[in-house]
Amino acid sequence: MAPSIRLSPAARSLFDEPLALAVQGLAPRQPVTLRTSLRDETGQLFQACARYRAEDDGQLDLARCPALPGGSFSGLEPMGLLWALQPQKPYWYMMKRDVQSPFLLQLEVFDGHGDPPGQLLAQAQHERGFMSDGVRRVPVREGRIRATLFLPPGEEPFPGVIDIHGLGGGLLEHRASLLANHGFATLALAYYQYEDLPQEPTELRLEYFEEAVNYMLQHPQVKGPGVGLLGYSKGADLSLAMAAFLNNITAAVSLNGPAAITVYPLHYKDKIIPVLPMYEELATVTDSNILDYSDIFLDPFQAPGNQSLIPLEKAEAQLLFIVGQDDRFVKSEYHATEVCKRLQAQGKDNFQILSYPGTGHCIDPPYFPLYPIGHHPIYHKRAVLGGKIGVYSRAQVHAWSQIQAFFHKYLNG
């Protein structure tokens, strides 16, 4: 029997779903190298490879067989060939703009453990999609709101979540589209550098985000009486401010965000929250000549009279802080710990922290590649984000399941 690749699901899966991978028809104990390849929307190539040895019956099941040393990873890692994908162009982030089309994953099996690899024995293709059958993508241009709403299949009202990304502008839909597959009406919300929104804002107004909350609560397919918020980085401090100042916020998740307002002053009615001061001269240079900006922010908890802290004691929502212990952009673990100490001292218990070792600033849904060094959105220089491959992948999977469980618990009443 000629070697062949067996996948489950066979032809298509969602990007955040596990993919079972096996090879059959090999010689007993045959050494082989498996390689995965994927090109993103810009054409940039991501690859991973691993060395294996077939079992005595010529079967190779990645759920049972550990990878041998010498590839992108070793040990028993059934999803290693997906989470270990790395860009061939250094410091490249895997971007997904068009969530209506899948990524195409190429799988190849080569004879032996050579470099370059030996004879090609088998190959297969697999689609990794972002929207399951029946999920609807609805562009939103209501009043000032510029967003995309993803609705799960069916007509009943669903728990509603607003997804707010970090700095960089534009409208990113990959997280919102994946969340909709799990039963949430999810609004991916842009707030600058998109269509007619401000290109280079000097301030942000909370009324804009309040309008998004009201849009969701007036939608016939969004279950009230409140909505959830999922904010990453700058989007996390905006989400926490929404929880502190706005009504009808039931649950808010902060993904590696500060507990203070950063970069743009935040206005709401007659109140202005100034930004947390930052000092570029406090950046350090790593051995590989990359900048580390983790110490550039003023410590808002040690600065008497600092006005940039978000008054989270006002928040009635349940709060979930997800932090990477190796976050080198924001001291997110410190911020979350200190703010929860303050809430506890005031007799509040509406908070929890999930803290992940070996995890940097960028926490994407499962199986997105590690992005440890990136482009600083303010200083426009190469900067350390942090994170270590492998442990980061486990954090992605766990955090994603916990976000869903948190929203199901508090938004389904």
Query: Is-cis flag, bond preceding 225, omega within 30?
Result: yes
Residue pLDDT, tens place only, 246-279 = 999 999 999 999 999 999 999 999 999 999 999 9
Widest Cα–Cα separation across the chain: 75
Q: What is the pLDDT of residue 1?
A: 82
Confidence at 398, pLDDT banded by 50, 70, 90: very high
CA distances from 295 to 325, 341, 380 (A): 14, 22, 17
pLDDT at 314 over 90: yes
* Amino acid found at 62: L
Active-site residues: which are they? 233, 327, 361
Q: What is the pLDDT of residue 347?
A: 96
Residue pair 29/9 in contact by the 8 Å Cβ criterion: no
Domain range summary for the chain, segments of one domain joined by +: 4-129, 136-412
Structure tokens at 129: 């999609």
Q: How far is CA 270 from the centre of its chain?
A: 34
Structure tokens at 348: 């509040």
Confidence at 366, pLDDT banded by 50, 70, 90: very high
Return mean pLDDT, the chain. 96
Lowest pLDDT segment from 120-124, 161-165, 283-287: 283-287
Confidence at 227, pLDDT banded by 50, 70, 90: very high
**pLDDT more than 90, % of the chain:** 95
Across 367-395, average pLDDT: 94
Confidence at 100, pLDDT banded by 50, 70, 90: very high
State whether CATH 3.30.230.10 applies to domain 136-412. no
pLDDT at 231 over 80: yes
How far apart, in whole angstroms, are the C-alpha atoms of residue 250 and residue 243? 8
CATH topology for 4-129 is Immunoglobulin-like (2.60.40)
Structure tokens at 50: 């691993």
Q: What is the pLDDT of residue 203?
A: 96
User: Which H helix or E strand runs over 250?
Assistant: strand 249-255
How far apart, in whole angstroms, are the C-alpha atoms of residue 362 and residue 256? 8
Closest CA to 100 of 15, 185, 165: 15
How far apart, in whole angstroms, are the C-alpha atoms of residue 196 and residue 258? 28
Across 130-140, average pLDDT: 98
pLDDT at 286 over 90: no
Residue pLDDT, tens place only, 331-341 = 999 999 999 99
Residue 210's SS3 state is helix
Residue pLDDT, tens place only, 351-364 = 999 999 999 999 99
Q: What is the pLDDT of residue 284?
A: 93
pLDDT at 413 over 80: no
**pLDDT more than 70, % of the chain:** 100
* Amino acid found at 343: L
Residue pLDDT, tens place only, 11-58 = 999 999 999 999 999 999 999 999 999 999 999 999 999 999 999 999
Q: Burial letters for 16-36: b for 16+ Cβ neighbours within 10 Å, e otherwise?
A: bbbbebbbbbbeeebbbbbbb
Across 69-77, average pLDDT: 97
Q: What is the pLDDT of residue 304?
A: 82
Helix ranges restricted to H, 319-361: 332-345
What are the backbone angles phi and psi of residue 51, rounded to the nearest 5°?
-100, 135
User: Which H helix or E strand runs over 106?
Assistant: strand 103-111
Q: What is the pLDDT of residue 288?
A: 80
Q: What is the pLDDT of residue 303?
A: 85
